[in-house]
A and B are shown apart, each in its own frame.
Chain A
Amino acid sequence: MMKFRFRRQGADPQREKLKQELFAFNKTVEHGFPNQPSALAFDPELRIMAIGTRSGAVKIYGAPGVEFTGLHRDMATVTQMHFLPGQSWSLLTHQGRLLTLLDDSSLHLWEIVHQNGCAHLEEALSFQLPSRLGFDGASGPPTLAHITVVLLVAASNMAALGTEGGSVFFLDVSTLMLIEGQTLGPDEVLRSLPDDYRCGKALGPVESLQGHLRDPTKILIGYSRGLLVIWNQAAQCADCIFLGNQLESLCWERSGSTLVSSHSDGSYAIWSVDTDSSPVMQPTVATVPYGPFPCKAISKILWRSCESGGHFIIFSGGMPRASYGDRHCVSVLRAETLVTLDFTSRIIDFFTVHSTRPEDEFDEPQALAVLLEEELVVLDLQVPGWPVVPAPYLAPLHSSAITCSAHVANVPAKLWARIVSAGEQQSPQPASSALSWPITGGRSLAQEPSQRGLLLTGHEDGTVRFWDASGVALQPLYKLSTAGLFQTDCEHADSLAQATEDDWPPFRKVGCFDPYSDDPRLGVQKVALCKYTAQMVVAGTAGQVLVLELNDVPSEQAVSVASMDLLQDREGFTWKGHERLSPRTGPLPWPAGFQPRVLVQCLPPAAVTAVTLHTEWSLVAFGTSHGFGLFDYQRKSPVLARCTLHPNDSLAMEGPLSRVKSLKKSLRQSFRRIRKSRVSGKKRAANANSKLQEANAQLAEQACPHDVEMTPVQRRIEPRSADDSLSGVVRCLYFADTFLRDAAHHGPTMWAGTNSGSVFAYALEVPAAVAGSEKRPEKVVEAVLGKEVQLMHRAPVVAIAVLDGRGRPLPEPYEASQDLAQAPDMQGGHAVLIASEEQFKVFTLPKVSAKTKFKLTAHEGCRVRKVALATFASVACEDYAETCLACLTNLGDVHVFSVPGLRPQVHYSCIRKEDISGIASCVFTRHGQGFYLISPSEFERFSLSARNITEPLCSLDLSWPRGAARASYSLQESPKLSQANGTPGIVLAPQSCDGSPNPVHSQGADTPEPLEAALSPMSIDSATSADTTLDTIGDITVEDVKDFLGTSEESERNLRNLVEDEARACAILIK
């Protein structure tokens, strides 16, 4: 289903075959933490865990690398999930089946199934509850209106459904059909009650259903009003009756002799189950753990017994309403030990990993897993102190908002080991922890990745996180914080807050999700890492450019600070944005890892929009909205500063469209918001049951669409003028050893491209390094402007790369000199590839003349958002590979072009065009893969290469009677078939290999790589928020907003004067 732009090319069958061997589009795996989780389940037999989300996605995780994903057809919230338990305890059965309940009251049965030699998670059956028909008076028969709880009865293939109306229905799980005649209505229960317990009121909704591990005929039913009944299915009568307070949750102890109930007043009660059926009025223990003041409800409680005596009581909520009502807490109580786990985000659900074999006498909980809205935390309950077990996946990528990302391919083993060891020193593992990771189901069949890939994410709080992106599970390696170098106001506040904290309740901060940034100026805008020298540059929102070097031991040293004026005494500009950060002076202690050496601060302190590093020449180049600078970090001296501002550009001086506002302003706004919400709240209360009216109003609106036609969405057709605002923004920087002045001598050059289509090329005088020594002699580096190219179409320059005589991109610094890549061809004529948002062009060097071009926007009407040069290896031939230009457009399509011919090769739709933050976050790897954010916390990984695919390949030992035959499968999961999170998986690829691509082709890359591609080495790879504008609002640029919103002429005009409120509103709207 490939779209051919040119019929001419389609005519060549040989080329078509080659294309099929080179290119294939697959969305392979989602990294990170599922966005907006809503349900949790754990299968103790298979030891796999399922997480459901509000968008209807189901994700199953086992051992690292074992992942399954499914998506419900409807975009409804998954409210409950239950793994089907083993069917009989004489024979171990592992079903791998999952029952999900959505908030539209539909039940779905999922199976991990085997198909065509590969397996995936598949929806087998679904059951939509009959919707409430007509009158639903009290007189009518009980209807299955709204399911509150689900219990899978262990022995039989049956599920009990508790409803809001107080009835319990029974469902045959294998067919998802209601079992008629077994329904247990509230009347029936009431009849078995002694008269004095009938309070004349209804029982309320069924709040909890619990099965008994050993006696499956008994069901514990808890009603909302407080009545607890142990119902004997066989005898159809109540065995025991308890009467408590308003009920929140129940837990039935393993032996069946003890019940624990939790209540809405923050209390829990322990009941002992006597064999005689006399009703119990008083619990054995009733306590309000965080009393005596009013407490919030305990929403879930678990009781787990231990052989060593003492039991665990684990519950969520129950905090004192006034003082800690806003905390998200789970309390773990064992004997006298109480720990109040204080989380940073809302608690969704939790479970313990414990023995579920009925013959065991004790639960022996091993671990507690708590699913929060933003992360998953697992505690080891077997080790004193209950330490946190680091998760090998589900990494909270967004623990602080991601502001940029970059990918480094083929990381040398030496650097990898150093980064890993720096990370280990950062968070020492408790050696005593016997339990590594309790969720161990399945086996990953994926081969050990042949090369190491590093994903760097820059965050709003000034940290850079290093992730192992080699395989399916994205694992944290190391975290670099740049905040320590600067003075921020917030430190005192922190210590104050700590001092005032009481020691009761015994809070323990758990989890790393921390969305609050000390200072938005710390935000990381651009990252570049040299993998051969372990030097990196981190550039931030306040114009700070940090050069860091990896050091294996902690050290204490001063950082040399320099500032560079990029305005170059340009008259008439006053910076109205934020001030620059003030660095700490004097020697500072640095832990092992990347330690700062040099800090360069741009003036005015606008966000850095482009950065590039050349370690061989010890040069770093950086650009902002005002200009660019070149700094020699070996001699610690500035080399060059150039202002790129257009005289008419006033917006550049306004500072970023910042999300930080003055305190006064934000206070005023929050008051306004409160007032508004009060007003609207009253309104809602006044016509609470006016849903019908609302619906009618909506219908009426739809009926008269001419209203819309009166003011149609218009677009103005005007060519870009030279004096557009923000024309001076430096979009890309690039170092190359090439021919700039004449065809006989090549030498170091620096290239810079701006938002207004200008390209500046400088010839650099870098003293040659003495043979044998790493560093070059201490001589001054000089830069001379060689050429200035003004693209007539004036579109922003997105990327610059120099191609050698063979038409291949130049290698990275040190790559050629260390024999890691083929030396570039310096004999033939070089060419420079300039990619603007509208066109790609190749010019000859040193005489700049147009060689080839492709006008993407003129043809397709789409604009370039991200480009990268990537090497595509062939599936068929081991040695064959091509370097191509991969490009992501504002419509979310990925195009691949040949280099230097610039002929379109393939074209896939990848991201929804409405997903602006996804498009802005996209980053390509050197081997034809890519990442983009599908939510603030998840990266989707995709591959354009037919050979280089990273996907989950795993097996799960399942055995359950399916049809007549009992079969045991060792299943392989295929590349994801369905897309979670609603990203359409339309593949316009040439029939992307039938079945699953051979797992052998994973990350196949041999060193030295002859075709290592380099395009503005790191800055191109790094996808950043501040692409076109200065704002720090994650990933959304003014231009993107313009693209997205149906702007009329007026709003388009007003866009320049876009006030920050509006920009914010847009951002919220889009997200």
Chain B
Amino acid sequence: MNRSHRHGAGSGCLGTMEVKSKFGAEFRRFSLERSKPGRFEEFYGLLQHVHKIPNVDVLVAYTDVHGDLLPINNDDNYHKAVSTANPLLRVFIQKKEEADYSAFGTDTLTKKKNVLSNVLRPDNHRKKPHIVISMPQDFRPVSSIIDVDILPETHRRVRLYKYGTEKPLGFYIRDGSSVRVTPHGLEKVPGIFISRLVPGGLAQSTGLLAVNDEVLEVNGIEVSGKSLDQVTDMMIANSRNLIITVRPANQRNNVVRNSRTSGSSGQSTDNSLPGYPPQAEPSFEPEDEDSDEDDLVIEDNGAPQQIPKAVPNAESLESLAQVELSLESAQNGFVPSGEGSLAPVASGASTEFEARVPDRKLLEEDGTIITL
């Protein structure tokens, strides 16, 4: 306790942030540099130190702005926790052996309605039991719905984050045909559809893609006129940061825009966020979408390092910009608006997943659903 010096909550000090840590019945309070939170391991060590529990394996969790209990177990979600703490970071510590994993997830601490589930199912307010999610070792975003403000309501743009290779992307695509409204009336046009989701795969676990969803774009490039093989290769080439725009086969889960807020960026999903600091980006920043570009170079048997991007000199700048701009312009647009839906899997997917199960059955019975 003597280590922590108290700052008044209202002092508004920009540099430091108050941390309230609870282990069992004990509370500890201390402060952190908001700008330099350090690494997760250091934070973990600090917690063990202040609670005087060295050599005890613990799980660390915090409550986010929605009141959800979320784990802190790596740098990414630690930084997210620090950056979103407002004004103070509430940390809960459990011994690993007696940890209650089911506590994680939405609506765990507060009885406040989840914003996202409200938006997605305004008619469905019934309470559901929470499903158990796995040991949250790698707790970071795996998917998100983006560009809600610029896309038609019938479309959904899904971003899948592929970290490492532990979990397969896990979906298949096929050829098919869909009906479009054209100046000449209805026309049947060839299209690419999701044909299968691998159980346990990333695509299925997000619940954002479903069988018979029509794929419209891959990373901003329209797939119309491209063959199945071409689309396959495009998806594989973009697999580390795959952004698929689909027309969901099931149109009942579409984002319903409030007429009041429709068209305004981000508000449709996020208007309840109090004082969300926009500059505090979690690990998935736009530069990150080129993470697949970070080829490794090993110099003279030294340690591998990522290849930096060359500082373009005046001569090559022009040519570089031409390519880069066209590559990224389509993807930059979503960044501000995407914030709200970038909710980690705990809030989005767990509920989504449940809701999907009956839907999928429905689809299987119906066969091909033609959507207009």
List residues of chain A with CB under 8 Å of any chain B CB.
Answer: 6, 8-9, 712-722, 741, 785-793, 795, 838-839, 841, 843-844, 848-855, 857-863, 891, 898, 900-903, 1043, 1049
A718, A792, A848: most-surrounded residue (chain B CB, <10 A): A718
B213 → A minimal CB distance (Å): 13
Q: Digitize B155-175: 1 where CB-to-A-CB distance is under 8 Å, 0 elsewhere.
A: 000000010010011111111
In the complex, A328 Cα to B315 Cα: how many Å? 67
Q: Which of B217-258 touch A at CB < 8 Å?
A: 219, 221, 226-240, 242
Question: With a CB–CB cut-off of 8 A, which chain B residues contact A839?
Answer: 237
Query: A712-B175, A717-B169 are contacts. A861–B226 as well, Cβ < 8 Å?
Result: yes
- Whether B230 contacts A787 by the Cβ 8 Å rule is no
Contacts A792-B291, A903-B323 aside, 13 further interface pairs with beta carbons under 8 A come to A712-B195, A715-B173, A717-B239, A719-B240, A741-B300, A785-B300, A787-B297, A789-B297, A790-B304, A848-B307, A852-B320, A861-B237, A1043-B229
- Whether A859 contacts B304 by the Cβ 8 Å rule is no
- Whether A793 contacts B165 by the Cβ 8 Å rule is no
Question: With a CB–CB cut-off of 8 A, which chain A residues contact B312?
Answer: 851
Q: Is B10 an interface residue (CB 8 A)?
A: no
- Whether A857 contacts B239 by the Cβ 8 Å rule is no
- Whether A717 contacts B295 by the Cβ 8 Å rule is no
In the complex, A844 Cα to B297 Cα: how many Å? 12
Q: Is B366 an interface residue (CB 8 A)?
A: no
- Whether A717 contacts B237 by the Cβ 8 Å rule is no
In the complex, A861 Cα to B297 Cα: how many Å? 27
Question: With a CB–CB cut-off of 8 A, which chain B residues contact A795?
Answer: 237
Question: With a CB–CB cut-off of 8 A, which chain A residues contact B320?
Answer: 851-852, 901
B291 → A minimal CB distance (Å): 8
Choice from A790, A848, A860, A903 contacting B230 with Cβ under 8 Å = A860
B229 → A minimal CB distance (Å): 6
Q: Is B372 an interface residue (CB 8 A)?
A: no
In the complex, A1049 Cα to B173 Cα: how many Å? 11
Q: Is B37 an interface residue (CB 8 A)?
A: no
In the complex, A839 Cα to B230 Cα: how many Å? 15
Q: Is B207 an interface residue (CB 8 A)?
A: no
The A interface is mostly helix, strand or loop, or mixed, namely mixed
Query: A8-B322, A719-B162, A903-B322 are contacts. A851–B175 as well, Cβ < 8 Å?
Result: no
- Whether B230 contacts A862 by the Cβ 8 Å rule is yes
Q: How many residues of chain B are within 8 Å of chain A by beta carbon?
A: 56
B295 → A minimal CB distance (Å): 5
- Whether B239 contacts A719 by the Cβ 8 Å rule is yes
The 6 closest A-B pairs by CB, nearest first: A861-B230, A901-B319, A719-B239, A857-B237, A715-B232, A788-B298
Q: Which of B86-114 touch A at CB < 8 Å?
A: none
- Whether B171 contacts A717 by the Cβ 8 Å rule is yes
Provide a sorted-by-A list of 30 A–B residue pairs whose CB atoms are within 8 angstroms: A712-B174, A713-B175, A714-B174, A716-B172, A718-B169, A718-B239, A721-B165, A741-B300, A785-B301, A788-B298, A789-B295, A790-B297, A791-B295, A792-B291, A849-B307, A851-B310, A853-B293, A855-B237, A857-B236, A858-B221, A858-B238, A859-B234, A861-B231, A862-B233, A901-B319, A901-B323, A902-B319, A903-B319, A903-B323, A1049-B172
Question: With a CB–CB cut-off of 8 A, which chain A residues contact B230?
Answer: 860-862, 891
Q: Is B309 an interface residue (CB 8 A)?
A: yes
Query: A719-B236, A855-B327 are contacts. A792–B292 as well, Cβ < 8 Å?
Result: yes
Question: With a CB–CB cut-off of 8 A, which chain A residues contact B296?
Answer: 789-790, 792
Question: With a CB–CB cut-off of 8 A, which chain A residues contact B300?
Answer: 741, 785-787
Question: With a CB–CB cut-off of 8 A, which chain A residues contact B228?
Answer: 713, 715
Choice from A719, A790, A852, A862 contacting B169 with Cβ under 8 Å = A719
Q: Is B34 an interface residue (CB 8 A)?
A: no
Q: Is B316 an interface residue (CB 8 A)?
A: yes
- Whether B316 contacts A717 by the Cβ 8 Å rule is no
Choice from A8, A791, A852, A861 contacting B227 with Cβ under 8 Å = A861
Q: Is B299 an interface residue (CB 8 A)?
A: yes
Q: Is B182 an interface residue (CB 8 A)?
A: no
In the complex, A898 Cα to B309 Cα: how many Å? 20
Choice from A9, A714, A841 contacting B172 with Cβ under 8 Å = A714
- Whether B240 contacts A852 by the Cβ 8 Å rule is no
In the complex, A857 Cα to B310 Cα: how many Å? 23
Q: Is B2 an interface residue (CB 8 A)?
A: no
In the complex, A712 Cα to B177 Cα: how many Å? 12
Question: With a CB–CB cut-off of 8 A, which chain A residues contact B299?
Answer: 786-787
- Whether A849 contacts B298 by the Cβ 8 Å rule is no
B178 → A minimal CB distance (Å): 14
